[in-house]
Structure 1
């Protein structure tokens, strides 16, 4: 149908005939369910029910991001303390400072990206600090230390995309542990 000037009405207006050269069904207006023969809702391909969001049928389940592994206590093979002395042990020699630097990208690792920003960064920072402690222990062990005391951390930005975690402490030698006294039995 055309108006008096021979122009077609705009798309979507009554009377507008859309070309359909391949016999495809006409699209329903926005917000309406397309109909297919005798008022039946249009089915998906090969007679399947229409899909419900992202390929799921029926009721959708709420997606929950995976949680990263919770940090656990690491054993480093020697005492590492934030205190200045090992309780119950005498320090016999101070070997000197031990330092380690771990540089990390400030972007979340791929394995932590789905966990959520806060949880992902928490896991990444904890891993960085534990890696820095492990390097301090390696340095102390190479120096012949029995323990690291006064452990501290420092963090700073190197570039816009890199940050550093520094762990430092004092490597010390300890007196042998006292023998436990046993009471003679009578």
Structure 2
């Protein structure tokens, strides 16, 4: 093996990388460029070097923008949907069974929600997903002849790396006086 042009290693043998074997000799180890030079901990680089980079995901001078996303609103349904096990002042006469509402959504933030703070966009998107799941649950309950849904719960899961499921479920019931808000005759 020829050692032409190589610096001697720690024991007089040539260094395989063509660099001095110890970084203390004024160069970076293993052919790494020396710009900007490494500074001892806590010291600033000398003037003339570019400023240090911002941590990943942060850009200098960025200020949060107002959210382009709509604020979630209360959604009223054609029949009562409650998280309680009964409706106050109403007597349950029949349990029809479990009703579900399922939506599958991409985990990417929708383009219409990307204009402002991404956290606000995700909050809006997640809220709308749950409201859509409840709307589908109500459709199933109405088709079953229910007057209300009690015991509303949510379940969420990942279907694929880019797709998530939101499920709303509860118990469809009929009430003693008929649907809430219907005129009672008697």
In structure 1, what is the equivalent of residue 146 of structure 2?
145
**Structure 1 segments (4+ residues) deviating >6 Å:** 177-180
CA contact (8 A) 2:68 2:112 kept: no
**Alignment partners' CA distance in 1, 2:89 and 2:168:** 25
Is the counterpart of residue 161 in structure 1 residue 150 in structure 2? Answer: no
Deviation digits for residues 111-165 of structure 1 (CA, Å, limit 9, x no counterpart): 0011222101100000000000000000000000000000000011100000000
**Which has the greater radius of gyration?**
1
In structure 2, what is the equivalent of residue 94 of structure 1?
95
Deviation digits for residues 90-116 of structure 1 (CA, Å, limit 9, x no counterpart): 000000000111000000001001122
Gaps of 5+ in 1: 1-61, 181-186
In structure 2, what is the equivalent of residue 50 of structure 1?
none
- How far 1:66 sits from its partner (Å)? 3.8
**Secondary structure of residue in 1 paired with 2:149:** strand
**Secondary structure of residue in 2 paired with 1:70:** coil
**Secondary structure of residue in 2 paired with 1:118:** helix
1:129-140 superposed matches below 5 A: 129-140=130-141
In structure 1, what is the equivalent of residue 128 of structure 2?
127
**Alignment partners' CA distance in 1, 2:64 and 2:94:** 57
Gaps of 5+ in 2: 1-62
- How far 1:65 sits from its partner (Å)? 4.2
In structure 2, what is the equivalent of residue 64 of structure 1?
65
- How far 1:74 sits from its partner (Å)? 0.4
